[in-house]
């Protein structure tokens, strides 16, 4: 979005944007940006909090009235108003397994029950089941990787497989009971599951790959604060 803002400003159109990653805004130096302290995927704050969402929008638009020249980066004053953690929440099943594919097989059975009760799922963009998506990523860098079905480039399939893995695990955890916050769900996935560890490792290998397309997607697979590189600072 920062690059797009520079492009539009070059054509004389004033821009303002909401930034979730402060470091990116500092590096890209968009003409006007409002940094917000919310989770990735929630640039306007917690779902259902219309009052806070309106404050974010007004604060971002108010930057258009500020004197230039930019770049201008302002911090949003509100704290994150996401729902509080549930201190009693635990993942309501056992995923103990010897390897990530065995874990995914157990998870898939739970996911099928949970998504059936819900009536819909966001899993499926890769064309794989959750277990197959995990196997595709686990074998991606092997000498004999899992075959890529026709109709999608291999790198694109990997990206969508990762989206499906995250969706399957998080949907299942959210639907099995309790009232976990989104932060609890993410902590559970990234910090305790074999699949979370697999994706962190894949992201690191993609970042260091000679394949330019893999390097390009490596910035969008794992939240920066969950990455191996971030932890090594």
Q: Are residues 188 and 145 part of one domain?
A: yes
Reply yes or no on whether the pLDDT at 231 is more than 70: no
Q: Are residues 110 and 45 part of one domain?
A: no
Q: Are residues 132 and 63 part of one domain?
A: no
82 falls within a domain? no
User: For residue 233, what pLDDT band results from cuts at 50, 70 and 90?
Assistant: very low
Reply yes or no on whether the pLDDT at 222 is more than 50: yes
Q: Which pLDDT tens digit goes with each residue over 28-56? A: 888 999 998 887 777 888 777 888 899 99
Q: Which pLDDT tens digit goes with each residue over 111-125? A: 999 999 888 999 999
Q: Which pLDDT tens digit goes with each residue over 89-102? A: 888 888 988 999 99
Stated pTM of the model:
0.74
Q: Are residues 112 and 69 part of one domain?
A: no
DSSP string covering 98-145, please?
SSHHHHHHHHHHHHHHHHHHHT--S--TTSS-HHHHHHHHHTTTSSSP
Provide mean pLDDT across the span 173-189: 88
* 59: containing domain: 2-75
Q: Are residues 218 and 109 part of one domain?
A: yes
Provide mean pLDDT across the span 211-222: 90
Provide mean pLDDT across the span 190-216: 95
The rounded distance, in Å, linking the Cα atoms of 119 and 76 is 38
Q: Give the number of domains in the chain.
A: 2
Q: Are residues 222 and 107 part of one domain?
A: yes
Q: Are residues 56 and 130 part of one domain?
A: no
90 falls within a domain? no
Q: Are residues 132 and 19 part of one domain?
A: no
Tokens 């492009």 sit on residue:
7
Task: Give pLDDT, residue 69.
Answer: 67
In the structure encoding, which two tokens stand for residue 193, read together?
């599951």
174 falls within a domain? yes
The sheet carrying 17-19 orders its strands as 17-19, 32-35, 72-75
Q: Are residues 193 and 125 part of one domain?
A: yes
Residue burial 171-208, b: 16+ Cβ < 10 Å; e: rest: bbbbbbeeebbbebbbebbbeebbbbebbbbbbbebbe
Provide mean pLDDT across the span 184-196: 94
Query: What average pLDDT is seen over the chain?
Result: 88
Provide mean pLDDT across the span 210-222: 90
């Amino acid at each position: 979005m920062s690059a797009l803002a520079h492009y539009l400003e070059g054509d004389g159109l004033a821009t303002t944007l909401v930034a979730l990653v402060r470091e990116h805004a500092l590096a890209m130096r968009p003409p006007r940006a409002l940094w917000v302290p919310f989770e990735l995927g929630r640039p306007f704050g917690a779902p259902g909090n219309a009052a806070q969402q309106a404050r974010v929008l007004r604060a971002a638009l108010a930057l258009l009235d500020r004197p230039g020249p930019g770049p201008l980066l302002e911090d949003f004053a509100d704290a994150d108003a996401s729902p509080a953690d549930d201190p009693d929440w635990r993942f309501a099943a056992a995923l103990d397994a010897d390897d990530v594919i065995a874990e995914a097989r157990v998870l898939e059975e739970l996911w099928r029950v949970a998504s059936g009760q819900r009536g819909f799922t966001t899993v499926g963009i890769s064309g794989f089941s959750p277990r197959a998506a995990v196997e595709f990523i686990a074998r991606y860098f092997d000498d004999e990787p899992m075959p890529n079905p026709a109709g999608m480039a291999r790198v694109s399939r990997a990206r969508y497989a990762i989206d499906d893995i995250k969706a399957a695990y998080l949907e299942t955890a959210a639907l099995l009971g309790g009232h976990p916050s989104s932060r609890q769900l993410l902590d559970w996935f990234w910090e305790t599951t074999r699949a979370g560890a697999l994706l962190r490792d894949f992201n690191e290998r993609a970042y260091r790959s000679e394949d330019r397309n893999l390097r390009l997607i490596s910035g969008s697979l794992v939240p920066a604060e969950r990455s191996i590189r971030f932890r090594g600072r």
